[in-house]
């Protein structure tokens, strides 16, 4: 009986400590349009003036079906780390792409950038973010 209770206690501790959080949202960047063949070609460094394709994947449904996309440029011209909002966009998700969104952007200024995705349900909380660089 003692071995049985020890086994149950160990199983309970393993489930409590080793539990998974589940799937998390993410952003994939690519030089080419994102398809089933090119989805694994993840890039982070892009050339100036070229298209930067991105795919935002959300495992959970956004109830309002609106997202805010924001691109921030890390500006280091003054010797300290500064930020500049480079681009912002409101996105309405359609019925067929409720769990993902893909598009492209063209950036002509070299530097380091951060793309952030917010939900209209809670615009204070960042759903996901991704970094990329333009040479």
Tokens describing residue 76 = 């280091």
pLDDT of res. 22: 67
CATH 2.60.40.1930 corresponds to the domain 23-134: yes
Q: What is the mean pLDDT of residues 121-126?
A: 86
Residue 15 belongs to what H/E stretch? helix 2-17
Q: Which residue has the tokens 């086994």?
A: 7
Q: In the structure, what pLDDT confidence band is assigned to residue 7 with cuts at 50, 70 and 90?
A: low
Q: Give the residue with greater pLDDT, 1 vs 111.
A: 111
Q: Give the residue with greater pLDDT, 131 vs 76.
A: 131
Burial of 16 (0-12, 13-18, 19+ CB in 10 A): exposed
pLDDT of res. 53: 95
Rounded distance, CA 120 to CA 65, Å?
8
Q: Give the residue with greater pLDDT, 96 vs 93.
A: 93
| Domain ranges, ordered by start, for the chain | 23-134
Q: What is the mean pLDDT of residues 92-100?
A: 84
pLDDT of res. 56: 92
pLDDT of res. 120: 84
pLDDT of res. 16: 63
Residue 119 reports pLDDT greater than 80: yes
Tokens describing residue 46 = 């892009």
């Amino acid at each position: 009986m003692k071995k049985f209770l020890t086994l149950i206690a160990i199983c309970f501790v393993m489930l409590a400590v080793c539990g998974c959080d589940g799937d998390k949202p993410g952003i994939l960047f690519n030089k080419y349009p994102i398809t089933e063949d090119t989805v694994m070609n993840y890039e982070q460094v892009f050339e100036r003036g070229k298209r930067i394709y991105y795919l935002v994947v959300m495992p959970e449904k956004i109830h309002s079906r609106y997202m805010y996309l924001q691109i921030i440029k890390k500006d280091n011209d003054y010797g300290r780390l500064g930020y500049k909002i480079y681009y912002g966009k409101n996105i309405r998700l359609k019925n067929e792409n409720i769990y993902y969104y893909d598009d492209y952007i063209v950036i002509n200024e070299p530097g380091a950038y951060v793309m952030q995705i917010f939900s209209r349900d809670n615009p204070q909380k960042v759903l996901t973010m991704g970094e990329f660089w333009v040479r």
